[in-house]
Structure 1
Amino acid sequence: MPAPTLPSLPRYTPAPPTKEDLEWAPLPIIDFSEASTPEGRSALAVQVRDAMRTYGFLYIVNHGYTQAQNARVFDIADAMFTQIPEDEKKRLTGDFQKTGSYRGYKPRQTWDISNGVRDQIEQYNFHRAVTDPELQQHPRAIDPFLPELRAFTEHNHYNILHPLLRMLAQGMELPDDTFVNLHNFDSPADSSARAMKYYPRSQEEEANTNNVWMKGHTDIGTITILWSQPVSGLQILCPNGQWRWVRHIENALVVNIGDGIEFLSGGFYKATIHRVRQPPADQAGCARLGVFYFCMADDDVRLAPRLESPVLQRVGVVRRPGFEDARAPTSRQYRTGLTSAYGVSKLEKREDGNEVELIHGVVVKHYN
């Protein structure tokens, strides 16, 4: 039987990978070819545990999508910006300050970066259900591609997120489905996919922000899945306190722990600080297109540590300043609080130069 014919759209051609000699983060590479079986996951669980304890980041290869499928996703993502009229983007812009959700478009120059410079980041965020018109209306030009996008979010959720969550639970000697049961695809939680495009900035803007495009931060949710792309910019704060670049690996995923898993694991897995900087010299002037799957625990999940973990009982719980188990926010409270405030609230500057805000009693830092 011949393969079904997919709707046509312009091909997206990314810039070639940098040839600059950068200081790369030595992130572990996890081969997911065995992750679909209990035996395979158990064999990988120690690697995943150690990677997420040491770096909070890892690569995944052999994740089930071919390079052609990967490229198709980026074709659709780019069309969300290049094939949609500006008036339709404006109509579908999300009011994240009011709703606490990024669903829809986020235009450029929404967030304050520093010294009066605003961001040059355009986003389109779509709920994982994708094809449910009750949850979200999409740009008309994207309608033919909704079945593919739904297959993409399901692949991220069931074939990448769930196996990872089972491995993370094993790393804490918890039942395999402990975290999986908190991440139901059909729940109202706001797990979403995102197309995100960074546009080049002026020399003056670069000077006024010390070349930082997005301040150092940890992610709101539990797990972030980034589909690797060749324009360098992502950096992580390594255990030795140094910023290191994240290298592009063809058809790989870059996966990191977010605040949600840090809270649920009692600090056993720690959300890693990361930022985005101006690309290296040989990629200057290139737009940087990213595709993400941001995972959130179900809305009613209280982000308190799973104290029944034998591992936590041995090593102890590490809590963030201001975090109290009895008053731990729900996933929805924490997500909406941070989303409403990010990039628009007034931050308190500390002596170390970093900035903080208080979200439902939890001290949230922004690293300059």
Structure 2
Amino acid sequence: MPAITLPSVPHWTPAPVTTEALQWADLEVIDLSKAKTADGRAELAIKARDAMHTQGFFYVINHGLEKSQTERIFDIAAVPFDGVAPEEQKAYVADMKAAGEFEGYKPLQYWASHIDNGVRDRMEQYNFNRNVHYKEHPQAIRPLLPEIQEFIRFNHEEVLHELERLLALGLELPEDTLTHITSFEQNNNGYFRFMRYHPRPEEEEVRSGNLWLKGHTDAGAATILWSQEVAALQIRNHEDSEWRWVKHIENALVVNCGDALTMLSGGYYKSAIHRVVQPPSDQRGYQRLGVFYFASFDDDVPLKPLEESPVLQRNGLSTPAEKRAPLMGEWRKARVAAYGTSELKKSAKKGVEEEFINGIPVKHYA
């Protein structure tokens, strides 16, 4: 059989890894290769459960892709920005405010309320539906769609579903409890993103206090971030409220818990609070390219506690809220429509602002 020739794309050269002594977050590492045995799965279920309960974050290694395959995806990730002319990009801008959907481009400087002091974002995105053929794409992206689709399916079925099985076991539920409500076929319950941050003028760094994106939680079930070299992501520790840097691990994933999983677990799995800040001095001036998979439960899933979980029952978390629980689709669309454009109001806690979406408070952190 002849070898398959992949479309040629420019190689993305990442920044050198920082050598600065930063206060790194101490995150659990989930080695997915151990999930192949019963003993390994039992061990990983406890590790994943405890990590999501205490921090909402963990690393994943040995996920199944080689470093060269990951590098190819980062090469592809730059194409929507470097390979598509600005005029063509305008035809594919996402209708975030009206439709509550991310599919397409989020242009530079679209967001203001989620940074500080009137400074707008320096981040551009290109977002895909899980089904890459759901909408049309710019010409330069079209030859790459088979690879992108295969990569999205890998994220969903080989990574997300494997982790969901572990997290279900952690709640002492059947393994398929979460995978059953996270179908690949439903077009609108998750999206895939290429994202690039640009360096900012010093005047904007001063005005914003070096904050690139306020601390927040993600709306969905879980977020899969493919680790990249430029240090800028920080997580807020749930115990001491201190911010710590997320360290790059080559060819690893950084996975965080989203609000939807928090609601289903009655708060036992904690939404990860994270923000983006100016990189350390030896990485300033570099562009920061990211690859993400944002997973949500099926749109018709009510976001209320899984009452049958013995873990939730023992912790008094199994009683649904008195108010009607939002459906996943309602929650997801409302969060997308409001993000970065809604008015945030000061809360009683210092450094915390909030907005209300479907009657539920959503907090943001400086």
Partners of 1:204 and 1:229 in 2: CA distance:
26
1:123 paired to 2:125: yes
Which consecutive unaligned segments of at least 5 residues does structure 1 have? none
Q: Which residue of 1 aligns with 2:242?
A: 242
Instruction: Look up the equivalent residue of 1:127 and give its one-letter code.
Output: N
Q: Counterpart of 1:138?
A: 137
Task: State the one-letter code of the partner of 1:363.
Answer: P
Task: Read off the aligned partner of 1:57 and give its amino acid letter.
Answer: F
Is residue 304–residue 325 contact of structure 1 (8 Å, CA) maintained in 2?
A: no
SS in 1 for 2:302: coil
How far, CA to CA, are the matches of 2:248 and 2:18 in structure 1? 9
**Partner SS state of residue 70, structure 1:** helix
How far the C-alpha of 1:3 sits from its partner, in A, is 3.4
1:328 aligns with 2:330: no
Q: Structure 1 residue 187: deviation in Å?
A: 1.1
1:203 aligns with 2:205: no
- After superposition, the Cα gap between the structure-2 partners of 1:36 and 1:153, relative to the gap in structure 1 and judged at 3 Å, is farther
Alpha-carbon contact 1:260-1:296 (below 8 Å) kept: yes
CA RMSD between the two structures? 1.4
Is the 1:35–1:44 Cα contact (8 Å) retained in structure 2?
yes
Counterpart residue type for residue 200 of structure 1: P
Q: How do residues 2-21 of structure 1 correspond to structure 2 at under 5 angstroms?
A: 2-21=2-21
Q: Are the aligned partners of 2:7 and 2:143 in contact in 1 as well (CA < 8 Å)?
A: yes
Shift of 1:252: 0.3
Contact 1:188–1:298 (CA under 8 A) maintained in structure 2: no
How do 1:341-352 and structure 2 match up within 5 A?
341-351=338-348, 352=350
Maintained 8 Å contact 1:189/1:297: no
Distance in 1, matches of 2:171 and 2:263, equals 13
Q: Give me the whole-angstrom Cα distance separating, in 2, the residues matched to 1:196 and 1:114.
A: 21
Partner of residue 339, structure 1 = 336
Secondary structure of 2:140's partner?
helix
One-letter amino acid matched to 1:311 = V
> What pairs up with 1:1-368 in 2 under 5 angstroms?
1-36=1-36, 40-112=40-112, 113-130=115-132, 132=133, 135-238=134-237, 239-317=239-317, 324-351=321-348, 352-368=350-366
Shift of residue 30, structure 1, vs aligned partner: 1.1
Unaligned runs of 5+ in 2: none
Report the number of matched residues: 362
Question: Among the aligned pairs, what percent are the same residue?
Answer: 52
Contact 2:308–2:318 under 8 Å retained in 1: no
Kept after mapping to 2: 8 A contact 1:128/1:191: yes
**C-alpha contact (below 8 Å) 2:131/2:187 kept by paired residues:** no
| TM value normalised by structure 1 | 0.96
- Equivalent residue letter for 1:142: I
2:235 and 2:246 in contact (8 A); partners too: yes
The verdict on how the C-alpha distance between 1:355 and 1:283 changes in structure 2, with shifts beyond 3 A counting, is same
- 2:199 and 2:286 in contact (8 A); partners too: yes
